[in-house]
Structure 1
Amino acid sequence: MTLVLPPRLTASARLLRETARRRGLRIAHLPGFDVPEGLRPGACHLHAGPSFADAVASTLDIAPLEAPADWTARLPREFTRRDIRAVPIGEAYGLRRPAFVKSPNDKSIAALVYADGSRLPGPDAVDPGTLVLVSDVILFRTEYRLFLLDGRVHTGSRYAEGGRLRPGPLSAGALTFGAELLSAAGAGLPSAIVVDVGVTDTGAWAVVEANAAWASGCYHSDPGRALDVVLRGAGPAVELGERDRAFVRVTGR
């Protein structure tokens, strides 16, 4: 098997590359978004951003898994501590209050607090039907990344404190909240995914967002266990479990 990597590597990608090598995987560090001859479709995994995945996954018969676009919006409020809606950006243009707006599964709409809907990218730049997540503004004291595999927290790491990057160990509270979340809403997620959670400024636990494992940094997570989730999260389509078929990202666009 081969782990395919994009031209520009993050610190996490380099760590996962070395972990994969020690496990016996071949590494294909591509210089661009074109798939070279010699890479065999159906025998590759992927760790990269959404744009690179969209360019190469279909050609290589890779099935990248992602959470449903509205997964966080459908969570009970006890897990979000705020109102979250999944709406077309054309509807979000009508916002007349500050709101946090982002794309569900990529970075096409910058994840920011917008003063109102008029500050969002306009219809000249974005299809008005593009789905976005609109949520109340909330502050997190501490944020954690959970790598989830088969309905369990497989590994994880703190990644921020006070809104600033500060990787560190996973807390017992994050593990407990992750287990409660999976018990209540794990059926709506693929078998391999990342979910970020945190402690709000009021001291409550809440979901931050869901992310594709194959596009996520591992921070201080155990790299071998993070790699387990990445490999399942973007592997050969022929190995895809029946349950995960509903969570495959549409690529080749």
Structure 2
Amino acid sequence: MTTRTLFLSPRVTATGHALADAARRRGAHVETLRDWRVPEQWRRAAGASLYAGPLFADAVARELGVGLLEAPEDWLARLPYELTLRNVEFTTIEEARLLRRPAFVKPPNDKSFPARVYPDGSGLPGPDAVEGGEPVLVSDIVTFAVEYRLFVLDGEVRTGSRYATRGDLDVAPLAEDPRRGEVLGFAERLAGTGLPSAVVVDVGLVDGSGWAVVEANAAWASGHYACDADAALDVVLRAARPEGEFGAADHRFLRPVPEVVRD
């Protein structure tokens, strides 16, 4: 069996350190890339995996030979209302600029502009900053009383963490949270909703309404908060691995990585 090598971006975070420690404990190699270019000896490395932000991942994944799983951009908008407890529209930023009401607007899988409540579409970045065809999710505004991060593998929650209470950072392992059973019960309802085999899903309790999906995130770019690092690493290694290792069921969830032109 090929030994895994976990590659990290130059900006190593607390989660990067935790995943690196977990990888070393199981005998995997860990390499920190020093810039946005993959050294020759690591190009298309056997057993490569990656933990990094989307922009850095786009720059190095092709040279590493790594495929990256992520939820479809319109996944949240396609969920039934009973799983979101709010209306969510998948559209373009050009259309969203025409909004004349407050809404929560975010890029589906990237961070091309801040995800937040906008008083109306005029507050969104203009065409000089973000092209009009950029996909966005436009959501009704709801208040989450408490929010949780779940690392999910083959539909099973491998580890979880509370990360916010009423919008403020409030981190604790899911195992120690009094709502653990409710969180896991709600997560079971997400089976068959069209997610990749390895993914991160954020869920929360909406004031006065019940449990709802916050969003889906790529495991290879998600912070682990108080999740168990070893269990989170299992999900990351499945979500970012050599392209040839992905089965047919996951091919449609592979991130379209751009061709990077080097000087």
Q: What's the offset of the Cα at 1:30? A: 1.0
1:208 to 214, 226, 234: 214
Q: Please give the secondary structure, in 2, of the residue aligned with 1:249.
A: coil
Q: What's the offset of the Cα at 1:2? A: 0.6
Q: What's the offset of the Cα at 1:110? A: 1.0
Give the 5 Å matches for 1:177-192. 177-182=186-191, 184-185=192-193, 188-192=194-198
1:36 to 33, 36, 39: 39
Q: Please give the secondary structure, in 2, of the residue aligned with 1:66.
A: coil
Q: What's the offset of the Cα at 1:201? A: 1.4
2:20 to 11, 17, 20: 17
Verify the 8 A CA contact 1:57 1:252 in the aligned structure 2. no
The 1-side partners of 2:24 and 2:133 are apart by 42
The 2-side partners of 1:203 and 1:224 are apart by 34
Q: Unpaired segments of 5 or more residues in structure 2?
A: 175-179
Matched with 2:181 is 172
Residues 1:50 and 2:59 aligned together: no
- Amino acid across the alignment from 2:31: A
1:249 to 229, 239, 255: 255
The two structures have a TM-score, normalised by structure 1, of: 0.96
How many residue pairs end up in the alignment? 250
Give the 5 Å matches for 1:127-138. 127-138=131-142
Q: Please give the secondary structure, in 1, of the residue aligned with 2:67.
A: strand
1:116 to 97, 113, 120: 120
The 1-side partners of 2:110 and 2:172 are apart by 25
The 2-side partners of 1:53 and 1:40 are apart by 14
2:239 to 233, 237, 240: 233
Q: What's the offset of the Cα at 1:83? A: 0.4
List structure 1 runs of 4+ shifted beyond 6 angstroms: none
1:27 to 27, 30, 37: 30
The 2-side partners of 1:123 and 1:22 are apart by 47
Q: What's the offset of the Cα at 1:69? A: 0.2
Give the 5 Å matches for 1:59-138. 59-138=63-142
The 2-side partners of 1:194 and 1:252 are apart by 23
Alignment root-mean-square deviation, CA: 1.0
Matched with 2:149 is 145
CA offsets, 1:175-214, max 9 Å, x none? 11001122x51xx111000000000111510000000000
Q: What's the offset of the Cα at 1:139? A: 0.8
Q: Please give the secondary structure, in 2, of the residue aligned with 1:247.
A: coil
Q: What's the offset of the Cα at 1:37? A: 2.1
The two structures have a TM-score, normalised by structure 2, of: 0.93
The 2-side partners of 1:131 and 1:180 are apart by 27
Q: What's the offset of the Cα at 1:43? A: 2.5
Q: What's the offset of the Cα at 1:59? A: 0.8
- Amino acid across the alignment from 1:107: K
Residues 1:195 and 2:201 aligned together: yes
Q: Please give the secondary structure, in 1, of the residue aligned with 2:252.
A: helix
Residues 1:8 and 2:11 aligned together: yes
Q: Unpaired segments of 5 or more residues in structure 1?
A: none
Q: Please give the secondary structure, in 2, of the residue aligned with 1:58.
A: helix
